Structure 1
């Protein structure tokens, strides 16, 4: 629905809108787009920070529950990760750097589970995914990570709606790609597919420094 409206708006702009009005509208809408990008960049970074802080808390609780032998074997892996996360949070590291740390968290969890199976098989299985399968495929937020992601989704949607509400009939044509992706995100019901669209949006429109572009490509 929004995409159809966008097409009509673009046609109106090209054939009807006087040039001086179009220029003024473009300047105003550029401000709206820049504000939207800034808000979403902060939202993404805040979400990453919250997830990283939670990962430290999980490791601290996990260490307390481990047997002495397992704790000793897992300590180098966990302590190295916690140190990297604290450094990233203290030094305002980039989006790409923080995303790499969350990927390390997922990899570490697999390694910790292997250690548990070897050294403490009597302990319950370690299950602490960044996003649970229940949330992806059933929409059930069963973990703290799920709740963080759910808040991100709601705040992203509010920011998108705020941008749409600011658009006039003179919306600029060069922003069509962004608006199409936002429309796809809004309409997508499958959470796994929606997550891919978030990644596409972030890679295409956010954190447009050369350093972050390179880091984002490395994660693909």
Structure 2
């Protein structure tokens, strides 16, 4: 009988506690998530497009790519390039870091950029984050409208066929359903792979960000971003 009473007492206590949230410690978003929530990239891009003028802004994003002159960051389904000549050569920042950045948002050669004045305008607030990789729609070419929509977002192509082999600049055209998409890379190992593709080869999966670099392309970051059949 005592054991039965104890069970009922514990059950009753749990019911009481469940109705009293103050008994449980509140949960808070991480520093990185709070920064991402407070400084969405898409809102800034919408404001820039509405005014058609460069604007000062603070953004937050997860680093998906690092080059000497820029970072590519993504926040939800919006991306941007954080740019300053030579600013990120030898940086300790890495993919998955959440950063905030203060600068001027421009639309430069069909790409969204946040131009910063100093390296200190970029601040790391967290690490270990991942971003959603969107499936790029089949039967879709990358024109300016589509390019703006997906600019600097990570996208994925699956089971595409090489339509035209690499040119002297390592550009390869692949068939995306009824449309053609160009893939490219700044990475030397990926360029070697691109140069050795032949017309008719099937590529099981490609991940990259969309950028206008002498034409709209999906830029493959490194050899982890593709899978051969």
The answer to whether the superposition gives a TM-score over 0.5 is no
More strand by share: 2
Larger Rg: 2
Place the TM-score, normalised by the shorter chain, in its bin. under 0.3
Greater RCO, CA 8 A, separation 6+:
1
